[in-house]
């Protein structure tokens, strides 16, 4: 799998997640950090805009992988060992990215619940003070 195929795989899976209801900023914060949203948006929206080896290395490091470059002869079919490693990587990073997004949603819901509770507590306290007066 070359860097263009890695980019295509990543772009297609991210687009699938976006189509499923996640937004670009959620994905970007997991993969690159929130400050890189413009770069991530260009990557998703433009098929010709690919991440370089350095960016891909950083992304895959998040998932516990090291990007290694292996030169292969053009005439040879892909080595079964490499194909197996590639397929396991694809399966694992998809699971980890999906779980990361799910965890983000859980944290968001939990945070919203705490904010709502704090607002309710303040409102009740104010209501009690009004009743006492």
Q: Are 101 and 29 in contact (CB under 8 A)?
A: no
pLDDT interval class at 118 (50, 70, 90): low
Query: 24-54 pLDDT, tens per residue?
Result: 998 999 899 889 999 999 999 999 999 999 9
pLDDT tens digits, 54-100? 999 998 888 888 888 877 777 767 778 888 888 888 888 888 888 88
The set of residues, in sequence order, having a beta carbon less than 8 Å from that of 78 and lying 6+ positions away, is: 72
Reported pTM: 0.69
Tell which residue, 16, 48, 11, 45, has the closest CA to residue 31.
11
Residue 11, CA atoms < 13 Å, CB-side half-sphere: 19
Residue numbers of the domain that contains 35: 3-132
Rounded to whole angstroms, the Cα distance separating 113 from 105 reads 12
Residue 93 and residue 65 in contact, taking contact as beta carbons nearer than 8 Å? yes
> Whole-angstrom Cα distance, residue 60 to residue 51?
12
Say if residues 40 and 24 touch (Cβ distance below 8 Å).
Answer: yes
Give the number of domains in the chain: 1
């Amino acid at each position: 799998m070359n860097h263009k195929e890695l980019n295509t795989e990543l772009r297609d899976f991210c687009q699938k997640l976006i189509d499923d209801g996640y937004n670009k900023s959620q994905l970007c914060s997991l993969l690159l950090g929130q400050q890189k949203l413009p770069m991530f948006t260009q990557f998703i929206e433009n098929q010709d805009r690919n991440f370089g080896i350095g960016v891909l290395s950083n992304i895959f490091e998040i998932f516990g992988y090291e990007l290694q470059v292996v030169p292969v002869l053009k005439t040879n079919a892909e080595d079964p060992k490499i194909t197996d490693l590639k397929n396991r990587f694809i399966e694992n990073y998809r699971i980890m990215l999906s779980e990361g997004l799910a965890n983000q949603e859980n944290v968001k819901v939990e945070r919203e619940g705490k904010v709502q509770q704090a607002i309710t507590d303040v409102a009740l306290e104010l209501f009690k003070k009004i009743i006492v007066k």
